[in-house]
């Protein structure tokens, strides 16, 4: 697991690290989905959803992608356990999300916010971002 929950007074602050920008999105998605529902019934049928996102920059693409997944999760009552990117650039992506249906969620995430969000590559070459979820 390459994300950790940090202190925030009212909401959830998540710090995510990964070896690549693409992997950063996958890990952040795992952080969102684990917050929504920690244990998913793996015997329920697998579902595939498509997501298309275009944004101004890397940080916005990450946040917009997570909010896309969040909206799909809430509308269809499912959580996503895998993602395959069929197109990927710094400002646009196409993704196939693999998930399973749930009867309810452990927690509500109203949205992934842009507050403090900035995708950076650190001195070790790893990619990182801190995200605040509105709970």
Partner 1 sequence: MFTKKDLKRISDILWEIPKSYRSDMRVPARLYSSEKMLEDIFRDRSVEQLVNVSTLLGIQKYAIAMPDIHEGYGFPIGGVAAFDVEEGIISPGSVGYDINCGVRLLRSEKSFPEVKPALEALGLSIYQEVPSGVGRSGRLKLKGKDLDSVLMGGAQSVIAMGYGEEEDMTHVESEGWLEHAAPDCVSERAKKRGHDQLGTMGAGNHFVEVGRIERIFDKTTAQALHLFENQVTILIHTGSRGLGHQVATDYITTMMKVMPKYGITLPDRELACAPFRSDEGKNYFSAMAASANFAWANRQLITHEVRHAWNHVFGQTGGTLHVVYDVAHNIAKLEEHEISQEKKNVVVHRKGATRAFPNQPVLIPGSMGTASYVLIGGEKSLEESFGSTCHGAGRRMSRTQARKTIRGSVLKEELKQQGIVINAGSFPSLAEEAPSAYKDVDAVVDVVHQAGIAKKVARLRPIAVIKG
Chain residues that interact with partner 1, rule: CB under 8 A: 5, 7-12, 36, 55-56, 59-60, 64, 67, 71, 74-75, 77, 102-108, 110-111, 113-117, 132, 134-135
Least Å distance, CB 19 to partner 1, is 26
Q: Which residues, other chains included, contact 124 with Cβ-Cβ below 8 Å and sequence gap of 6+? A: none
> How many C-beta atoms surround the C-beta of residue 114 within 10 A?
15
d(CA 13, CA 132): 4
Between 23 and 100, whose beta carbon lies closer to partner 1?
A: 100
Q: Least CB distance from residue 117 to partner 1, whole Å?
A: 7
Nearest to 34 by CA among 9, 69, 60, 68: 69
Read off the tokens for 27: 């890990």
Q: Which tokens sit at 26?
A: 């996958």
Query: Do the bridges between strand 12-18 and strand 78-88 make them parallel or antiparallel, or are there none, so unpaired?
Result: unpaired
Rounded to a whole number of angstroms, the minimum distance from the CB of residue 127 to partner 1 is: 19
Closest to partner 1 by CB, 19 vs 71, is 71
- 10 versus 43: smaller Cβ distance to partner 1: 10
Q: Identify which of residues 72 and 83 has a Cβ nearer to partner 1 in the complex.
A: 72
């Amino acid at each position: 697991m390459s994300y950790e929950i940090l202190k925030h007074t009212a909401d959830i602050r998540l710090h995510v690290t990964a070896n690549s920008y693409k992997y950063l999105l996958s890990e952040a998605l795992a952080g969102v989905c684990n917050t929504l529902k920690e244990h998913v019934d793996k015997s329920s049928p697998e579902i595939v959803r498509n997501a298309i996102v275009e944004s101004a920059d890397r940080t916005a693409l990450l946040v917009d992608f997570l909010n896309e997944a969040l909206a799909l999760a809430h509308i269809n009552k499912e959580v996503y356990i895998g993602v395959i990117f069929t197109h990927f650039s710094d400002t646009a992506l196409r993704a196939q999300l693999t998930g399973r249906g749930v009867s309810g969620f452990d927690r509500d995430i109203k949205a992934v916010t842009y507050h403090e969000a900035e995708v950076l590559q650190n001195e070790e070459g790893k990619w990182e971002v801190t995200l605040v979820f509105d709970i």
